[in-house]
Amino acid sequence: MIEELIVTIGFDLGGTKMHAAAVDAQGNVLYSERQKTEASGGADAVIERMVGLVARLRQEIGPRGSHISALCVGVPGAVDSERGVVDKAPNLGWDNVPLGPRLTSALGIPVFLDNDVRVAVIGEHVYGVGKGARTMIGIFVGTGIGGGVIVGGHTHHGGRGVAGEIGHMTLVPHGPRCSCGRRGCVEALCSRTAMERDVRKLIKQGWDSKVLKLMRKEGRDDLTSSVIERALDDNDDVMRKVVKDAQYHLGLTVASLANVLDPEVVVIGGGVTERLGERFVAPIREHAYKHFLVQRDREKVHIVATELKDRAAPLGAAHIARERLAGRLDSAPGARHGTASWPVPSA
């Protein structure tokens, strides 16, 4: 098929929702749809729903449906992209799930897997705030903190293929316990989970706050981005202090990375940023700039909020599918020859 006509699907597989987009060679989204993941139903049921969603996309884009030539899934966890296996995705409750081969055999097209944050960083790089950047860093603040690094215009995978774990840089030695078991990681200080821990701690210490009431009102027992926004709008002291601390620590993290990598763009993404935008990023930028060793031209390091928001991952994934199909992503382990290494039935 002529390369220009090829359509690829970018699939963002989240713990709560899945979001797939059929994208043409120019980056136009021909059709996209979100559905609930319903991860509690188990891997088989989720994969079935994924296949169904792809079928919907195929149908919706009409005759061009036959041009769909590859799919890339951004997975919230660790993937073995060579074998097409999801090693571990805690939000899905998945361990060692051969997602690639399963989807390939159901859909009849090559399927590639990558980490969801890496995929979103590529989305911002190709279609969003990072267009044309040679060095770029992505930091995604959610229940955890994910990251991605682009160097020389390409995703940096590293020797073992596990680069980008910005959330697990140590920021405060002997600091608060992290989900990874260590202490003082960026994630243990700045994630939504860390913010919730600090909110509860302050309230326990006697601070007055409406946050718990707002959470109940939403029928949730965790601190969502929308609760954070409402509490800030209400000038809730606890929320303000906790967000301020997270911004300070994120600023230090951005500065440390900037001192080492001197990027052109640092994109801050994830749910909190999608909702608060510049209001969340401005103080991060300010703290970061203060901690740059070289102050000259510091504004050339653009520290910005995500532009594509939740479209970053599907757009990035669709781009990866296209590139891998064409064998161009030679920096990715396992993608050197542009083919998946599990059997791909002829389409």
Position among 45, 180, 326, 347 found at the interface with a copy of itself (CB under 8 A): 180
Contact 322, 6 (CB under 8 A): yes
**CB of 172 or CB of 203, closer to a copy of itself:** 172
Taking the complex as a whole, the smallest distance from the CB of residue 216 to a copy of itself amounts, in Å, to 34
By CB under 8 A, residue 241 contacts a copy of itself = no
First-to-final CA distance of the chain:
12
Residues 6+ apart with CB under 8 A from 26: none
Taking the complex as a whole, the smallest distance from the CB of residue 156 to a copy of itself amounts, in Å, to 6
**CB of 107 or CB of 266, closer to a copy of itself:** 266
Q: Which listed range, 41-49, 124-132, 227-235, 290-298, lies at the site for a copy of itself (CB under 8 A)? A: 290-298
Structure tokens at 226: 């929308």
By CB under 8 A, residue 157 contacts a copy of itself = yes
Residue list 128-147, contact with a copy of itself (CB under 8 A): 133-135, 147
Distance CA 15, CA 32 (A): 18
Query: For the purposes of burial, counting CB atoms within 10 Å of the CB of 269, is it exposed (0-12), middle (13-18) or buried (19 or more)?
Result: buried
Please, what is the Cα angle at 313 between 311 and 315, to 5 degrees? 65
By CB under 8 A, residue 2 contacts a copy of itself = no
By CB under 8 A, residue 96 contacts a copy of itself = no
Please, what is the Cα angle at 49 between 157 and 271, to 5 degrees? 50
Distance CA 277, CA 284 (A): 11
Taking the complex as a whole, the smallest distance from the CB of residue 116 to a copy of itself amounts, in Å, to 16
Position among 2, 40, 152, 204 found at the interface with a copy of itself (CB under 8 A): 152
Number of residues counted as binding a copy of itself (CB under 8 A): 49
By CB under 8 A, residue 161 contacts a copy of itself = yes
Q: Which listed range, 32-40, 68-76, 232-240, 259-267, lies at the site for a copy of itself (CB under 8 A)? A: 259-267
By CB under 8 A, residue 259 contacts a copy of itself = yes
Residue list 104-123, contact with a copy of itself (CB under 8 A): none
* Bridge partners, 111 (sequence order): 71
DSSP string of 60-123, one letter each residue? HTGGGGGGEEEEEEEESSEEETTTTEEEEETTTTEEEE-HHHHHHHHHSS-EEEEEHHHHHHHH
HSE-CB of 140 using CA atoms within 13 angstroms: 28
Position among 4, 26, 173, 204 found at the interface with a copy of itself (CB under 8 A): 173
Residue list 67-86, contact with a copy of itself (CB under 8 A): 78
Binding residues for a copy of itself (CB under 8 A): 78, 133-135, 147, 149, 151-152, 154, 156-166, 168-173, 180, 182, 248-249, 252, 255-257, 259-264, 290-291, 293-294, 296-297, 300-301, 331
